[in-house]
Amino acid sequence: MLPEELIFAVAINYRGMRSACLEKKYIHIFSSKDDTIADENRKYDIDLDEEPDRGYKSQFKWVNVHRNIVGDDIKDEEKYMALNLYTVLNRLDAVIVENRKSKK
């Protein structure tokens, strides 16, 4: 068992790195203003598959994001999986912006 102080230090470091490296850079994915995928994701930082108890079932799943990116191109899934995380996040952020503009 890890000491409580070490667990606490890791949790604080994780929150800081997530904020600085993800939330502030990809504001449309990790937005708290809108009802975007990040609003659902932010509520459970550790286990993305565990649903928070809000009286309703969340529709967001990272698996669905993966399926939407890969689509029917299953033979090329390994190419997508080899992409840099920041490449994927940049594209997702841009798609969110494009979709919001087209809805207006």
pLDDT at 1 over 90: no
Cβ atoms within 10 Å, residue 65: 15
Q: What is the pLDDT of residues 3-32, one digit of tens each?
A: 999 999 999 999 999 888 888 999 988 875
Q: How many CB atoms lie within 10 A of CB 33?
A: 9
Query: How many Å separate Cα 3 from the centre of its chain?
Result: 29
Residue, of 99 and 50, whose pLDDT is higher:
99
What is residue 2's DSSP assignment?
Answer: -
Q: Rounded to two decimals, what is the model's pTM?
A: 0.57
Domain boundaries, the chain: 4-103
Q: Taking the chain, what is the end-to-end CA distance rounded to the nearest angstrom?
A: 53
What count of other Cβ atoms lies within 10 Å of the Cβ of residue 23? 16
Q: What is the structure's pLDDT at 76?
A: 84
**pLDDT reading at 40 higher than 70:** no
Residue 33 has pLDDT above 50, yes or no: no
pLDDT in tens, 58-100: 566 778 887 888 888 788 888 888 999 899 899 989 988 998 8
- What does the alpha-carbon distance between residue 69 and residue 98 come to, in Å, rounded to a whole number? 15
Number of C-beta neighbours around residue 16 at 10 A: 10
